[in-house]
A = this chain, B = another copy of it.
Amino acid sequence: MSAALIEAKASWTRGEVPVGAVVVSPSGMIVSRAGNRTREYSDPTAHAEMLALRAACAANGSERLPDHSLFVTLEPCPMCAAAIAAARIKVLYYAASDPKSGGVAHGARIFSHAQCHHRPDVFEGLMEQDASDLLKRFFAERRA
Contact = CB atoms under 8 A, between A and B. Distances in A.
Tell me what chain A mostly uses at the interface: helix, strand, loop, or mixed: loop
Contacts of A114: 107
- Counting chain A residues whose Cβ lies within 8 A of the other chain, the interface size class is 35 or more
Contacts of A102: 115
Q: Which of A62, A83, A87, A100 has the most CB of B within 10 A?
A: A83
A82 B103 contact: yes
Contacts of A41: 58, 63
Interface string A73-95: 00001111111001100000000
Interface in A21-40: 38-39
A103 B79 CA distance: 10
Contact of A44 (B43, B53, B109): B53
A81 B82 CA distance: 10
A78 B117 contact: no
Given A114-B107, A115-B107, A64 B82 contact: no
Given A44-B86, A102-B115, A108-B113, 12 more contacts: A42-B61, A42-B62, A43-B63, A44-B64, A44-B83, A45-B54, A78-B82, A99-B115, A100-B115, A101-B117, A106-B113, A107-B115
**Smallest CB-CB A-B distances: 6 pairs:** A107-B115, A79-B82, A107-B113, A44-B86, A78-B82, A108-B108
